[in-house]
Amino acid sequence: MNNRTTFFILIIMVFVGCSSQQETIIEEKPAGLSNVQQLSFSGDNGEAYWSPDGQQIIFQSKRDGNGCDKIYIMNADGSDVHMVSPEVGANTCSYFSMANDRIIFSSTFGVVDSCPPRPKPQGNKYIWPLFPYDIYSANPDGSDLIKIRENDGYDAEPTVSFLTGRVIFTSEIDKDLEIFTMNIDGTDVKRLTNRLGYDGGPYFSPNAEKIVWRAWYPENAKDSLAWKENMALNQVEAVPLAVYVMDADGMNKTRLTDNGATNWAPSWHPDGEHVVFSSNMDDWNEDHQAFGHNFELYKIKIDGSGLTRLTTNTFFDSFPMFSPDGKFMLFASNRDADNPRATHIFKAEWND
| Domain at 83, CATH number | 2.120.10.30
Alpha-carbon distance of 124 to 120, in angstroms, equals 11
Q: How much is the pLDDT for 296?
A: 93
Q: How much is the pLDDT for 290?
A: 52
| Residues 254 and 211: beta-carbon distance below 8 Å | no
Q: Which of 243, 164, 177 is nearest to 204 (CA)?
A: 164
**Under 8 Å CB-to-CB from 233, ≥6 apart: which residues?**
none
Containing structural domain, residue 185: 3-350
Q: How much is the pLDDT for 126?
A: 73
Grouped pLDDT means (10 residues each) for the chain, 352 residues: 47 32 41 89 95 98 93 97 95 97 96 82 75 96 95 94 97 95 97 97 97 97 95 89 97 95 94 95 62 84 94 91 96 85 93 82
Half-sphere exposure at residue 217, Cβ-oriented, CA atoms within 13 angstroms: 11
Q: Which of 84, 1, 78, 5 is nearest to 43 (CA)?
A: 1
* Per-residue b or e along 82-116, where b marks 16 or more CB atoms closer than 10 Å to that residue's CB: ebbbbebbbbbbbbbbbeeebbbbbbbbeebeebb
User: How many domains are contained in the chain?
Assistant: 1
Q: Which of 293, 276, 339 is nearest to 33 (CA)?
A: 276
User: pLDDT tens for residues 272-325?
Assistant: 999 999 998 887 665 544 555 789 999 999 999 999 999 988 889 999 999 999
Q: How much is the pLDDT for 23?
A: 39
| Residues 103 and 148: beta-carbon distance below 8 Å | no
User: pLDDT tens for residues 194-223?
Assistant: 999 999 999 999 999 999 999 999 999 999
Alpha-carbon distance of 177 to 165, in angstroms, equals 23
| pTM confidence score | 0.89
Q: How much is the pLDDT for 285?
A: 60
Question: What is the enclosing helix (H) or strand (E) of 10?
Answer: helix 3-10
